[in-house]
Amino acid sequence: MILVVGANGMLGRDLMRVFQGEARGLDIDEIDITSPESVRRVILTVKPRVIINAAAYTDVDGCESERDRAVEVNGEGVAYLSMAAGEAGAKLVQVSTDYVFDGGKGTPYIEEDIPRPISVYGESKLAGELNAQLAPEWLVVRTQWLYGVHGKNFVETMLRIASEKKEVSVVDDQIGSPTWTKDLARAIGALVAKGCHGIYHATNSGTCSWNEFARAIFEEAGVPMTVNSMSTKELNRPAPRPLFSVLDNGKLIRDTGFEPQPWRDALRCYLQERKDLWAHL
What is the CB neighbour count within 10 angstroms for residue 191? 21
Residue range 81-106: mean pLDDT, rounded: 98
Q: Does the structure show a pLDDT above 80 at 276? A: no
Distances in Å between the Cα of 243 and the Cα atoms of 94, 106, 172, 210, 217 are 24, 9, 10, 11, 21
Q: Does the structure show a pLDDT above 80 at 8? A: yes
Give percent above pLDDT 70 in the chain.
98
Q: Does the structure show a pLDDT above 80 at 280? A: no
d(CA 212, CA 14): 26
d(CA 261, CA 183): 8
Are 74 and 128 in contact by the 8 Å Cβ rule? The answer is yes
Are 60 and 235 in contact by the 8 Å Cβ rule? The answer is no
Q: Which residue is catalytic, options 57, 109, 121, 147?
A: 121
β-strands 179-180, 146-147: how paired? parallel
Tell me, what's the pLDDT at 39? 97
pTM of this structure = 0.96
Tell me, what's the pLDDT at 275? 77
pLDDT tens, residue by residue, 191-226: 999 999 999 999 999 999 999 999 999 999 999 999
Q: Does the structure show a pLDDT above 80 at 158? A: yes
CA Rg, the chain, in Å? 18
d(CA 8, CA 178): 21
Tell me, what's the pLDDT at 161? 95
Tell me, what's the pLDDT at 270? 95
Tell me, what's the pLDDT at 120? 98
- Residue in 177, 189, 190, 202 with CA at minimum distance from that of residue 265: 177
What is the CB neighbour count within 10 angstroms for residue 192? 22
Asked about 57 being catalytic, the answer comes back as: no
Domains and CATH numbers, the chain: 2-152+178-207+245-261 (3.40.50.720)
Q: How would DSSP label each residue in 174-193?
A: -EE--EEHHHHHHHHHHHHH
Tell me, what's the pLDDT at 209? 98
pLDDT tens, residue by residue, 28-47: 999 999 999 999 999 999 99
Tell me, what's the pLDDT at 110? 98
Q: Does the structure show a pLDDT above 70 at 281? A: no
